[in-house]
């Protein structure tokens, strides 16, 4: 089965993962994307774009050559929201590459990874919100700001200095 994606320049690309293309990808990227437990493969599926061009170019090079598109020009189309669709197509194509028994295991592994990454993302956002709140309050919690301001407001009546 093949997958299609569109780059940010509106060009449609078709990818097909086979044993031969995996060999080319491994030679180009320096790691085997079929080893999903590999940290670099996980980086890709978690949203890292560091190796995206290294992985995709061996899959589209022949088609790109027929269209007169260089690797650099192809890479220029990998940006913005197009990356999301590109990675999705790559992940689906890779999953379809595996025999059904292993495919099920890989789908579960990727689903679990996406859950963990989603939770990590939510925690990171909560930490950012907490840091912003701390900056607004001068490093104090809203409660301690209120308490310290109450202590500095003079009450009516004689003070120690009168």
Q: Of 86, 87, 107, which is closest to residue 97 (Cα–Cα)?
A: 107
Q: Which two tokens stand for residue 29?
A: 């990227």
Q: Of 66, 65, 72, 95, which is closest to residue 7 (Cα–Cα)?
A: 72
Instruction: Indicate whether 143 pLDDT > 60.
Output: no
Q: By CB neighbour count within 10 A (0-12 exposed, 13-18 middle, 19+ buried), where does 128 fall?
A: exposed
Confidence at 4, pLDDT banded by 50, 70, 90: very high
Q: Does 135 lie in the same domain as 55?
A: no
Q: pLDDT value at position 82?
A: 94
Confidence at 38, pLDDT banded by 50, 70, 90: low
Share of the chain above pLDDT 90, in %: 40
Say what the pTM is. Answer: 0.68
The Cβ-side half-sphere exposure at 126, using a 13 Å CA radius, reads 6
Tens digits of residue pLDDT in 85-135 = 999 999 889 889 989 888 887 778 777 777 777 777 788 888 888 888 878
Q: Is 4 within a domain?
A: yes
Q: Is 160 within a domain?
A: no
Q: Does 87 lie in the same domain as 46?
A: yes
Q: Which two tokens stand for residue 158?
A: 């004689």
Q: Does 1 lie in the same domain as 78?
A: yes
Q: Does 17 lie in the same domain as 2?
A: yes
**Backbone phi and psi for residue 104, each to the nearest 5 degrees, phi listed first:** -60, -45
């Amino acid at each position: 089965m093949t997958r299609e994606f569109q780059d940010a320049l509106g060009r449609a690309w078709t990818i097909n993962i086979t044993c031969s293309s995996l060999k080319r990808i491994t030679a180009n990227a320096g790691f085997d994307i079929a080893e999903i437990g590999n940290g670099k493969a996980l980086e890709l599926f978690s949203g890292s774009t560091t190796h995206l061009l290294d992985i995709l170019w061996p899959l589209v090079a022949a088609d790109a050559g027929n269209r007169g598109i260089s690797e650099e020009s192809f890479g220029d189309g990998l940006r913005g929201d197009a990356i999301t669709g590109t990675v999705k197509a790559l992940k689906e194509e890779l999953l379809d590459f595996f025999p059904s028994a292993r495919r099920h295991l890989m789908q579960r592994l990727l689903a679990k990874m996406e859950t963990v990454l989603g939770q990590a993302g939510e925690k990171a956002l909560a930490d950012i919100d907490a840091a912003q709140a701390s900056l607004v309050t001068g490093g104090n919690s809203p409660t301690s700001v209120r308490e310290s301001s109450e202590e500095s407001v003079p009450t009516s009546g004689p003070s120690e200095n009168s």
